[in-house]
């Protein structure tokens, strides 16, 4: 995928599966002018989810590609790719998207797929970051924005934000604070990409070269 031309706003495709509070944070920051990107399309693999109404309320095109109605993972990925290309998407932003993307998809958007995870990676990978942190008894957890590679929550880290765990926290209360941190962190990372302060390129082997990661300045 080509880099965004200087002076142009990067075009994002946001993939969702559910609530979409991170999508909402991105849309609000965009509307407020603090995030200089264009959300070109929102795609959900599940019909009827709240993220789709959030996109509609913001006037952003959205569509559903239901994985259950596609014959294979490859067919699902290919349809996603087609829709993203149709909307000239440069960066794929996963915001609570609950499907793994295959090698064909990741090859097409090499080092251009970004995810947010509700823990300080490499701790607590997988689906239940807040629950795992609470069960383990850590005093500090947080969230991580990272590139998506072929593993689960294993891609290069772009930035992280810490969230303290308080005595008496429940999964719900901790998740709420992690979510609030996520909204700020995702917008901040995307804005640094948009401004060229965070540069992500690929070496000849396809590995990411990241300049400007860490420190939100």
Which residues are known catalytic residues? 117
Residue 45, interface with ligand GRF (CB under 6 A)?
no
Q: Are 15 and 92 in contact (CB under 8 A)?
A: yes
Residue 173, interface with ligand GRF (CB under 6 A)?
no
Q: Which of 23, 25, 14 is nearest to 184 (CA)?
A: 25
Please identify, using beta-carbon distances, which residue of 25 and 81 lies nearer to ligand GRF.
25
What DSSP designation does 87 have?
Answer: T
Number of other residues whose CB lies within 10 A of the CB of residue 197: 13
Instruction: Candidates 1, 9, 11, 18: give the one binding ligand GRF (CB under 6 A).
Output: 18
Return the residues of window 66-105 that contact ligand GRF according to CB under 6 A.
Answer: 95-96
Closest distance to ligand GRF from the beta carbon of 69 (Å): 22
Number of helices (H) and strands (E) in the chain: give both, helices first: 6, 9
From its phi and psi, is residue 206 left (phi > 0), alpha (psi between -120 and 50) or beta?
A: left
Please identify, using beta-carbon distances, which residue of 90 and 153 lies nearer to ligand GRF.
153
Instruction: Candidates 10, 12, 14, 22: give the one binding ligand GRF (CB under 6 A).
Output: 22
Residue 159, interface with ligand GRF (CB under 6 A)?
no
Catalogue the E-assigned strands of the chain.
Answer: 11-16, 38-44, 62-64, 91-94, 113-117, 140-147, 157-164, 199-202, 208-211
Sheet of 11-16, strands arranged across: 62-64, 38-44, 11-16, 91-94, 113-117, 140-147, 157-164
Size of the site for ligand GRF (CB under 6 A): 12
Q: Which stretch binds ligand GRF (CB under 6 A): 64-72, 113-121, 156-164, 191-199?
A: 113-121
Instruction: Candidates 54, 87, 117, 146: give the one binding ligand GRF (CB under 6 A).
Output: 117
Q: Which stretch binds ligand GRF (CB under 6 A): 7-15, 19-27, 77-85, 151-159?
A: 19-27
Residues that bind ligand GRF (CB under 6 A): 18-22, 95-96, 116-118, 179, 182
């Amino acid at each position: 995928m080509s880099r965004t031309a200087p002076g142009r706003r990067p075009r994002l495709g946001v993939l969702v599966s559910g609530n979409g509070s991170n999508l909402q944070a991105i849309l609000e920051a965009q509307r407020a002018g603090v995030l200089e990107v264009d959300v070109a399309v929102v795609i959900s693999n599940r019909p009827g989810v709240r993220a789709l109404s959030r996109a509609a309320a913001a006037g952003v095109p959205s569509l559903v590609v239901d994985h259950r109605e596609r014959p294979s993972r490859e067919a699902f990925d290919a349809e996603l790719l087609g829709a993203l290309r149709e909307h000239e998407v440069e960066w794929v932003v996963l915001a609570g998207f609950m499907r793994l993307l295959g090698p064909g998809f990741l090859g097409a958007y090499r080092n251009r797929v970004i995810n947010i995870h509700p823990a300080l990676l490499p701790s607590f990978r997988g689906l239940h970051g807040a629950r795992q942190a609470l069960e383990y008894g850590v005093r500090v957890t947080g969230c991580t924005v990272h590139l998506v590679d072929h593993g689960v929550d294993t891609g290069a880290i772009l930035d992280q934000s810490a969230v303290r765990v308080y005595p008496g926290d429940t999964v719900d209360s901790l998740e709420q604070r992690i979510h609030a941190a996520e909204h700020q962190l995702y917008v901040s990372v995307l804005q640094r990409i948009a401004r060229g302060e965070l540069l992500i390129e690929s070496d000849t082997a396809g590995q990411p070269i990241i300049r400007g990661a860490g420190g939100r300045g």
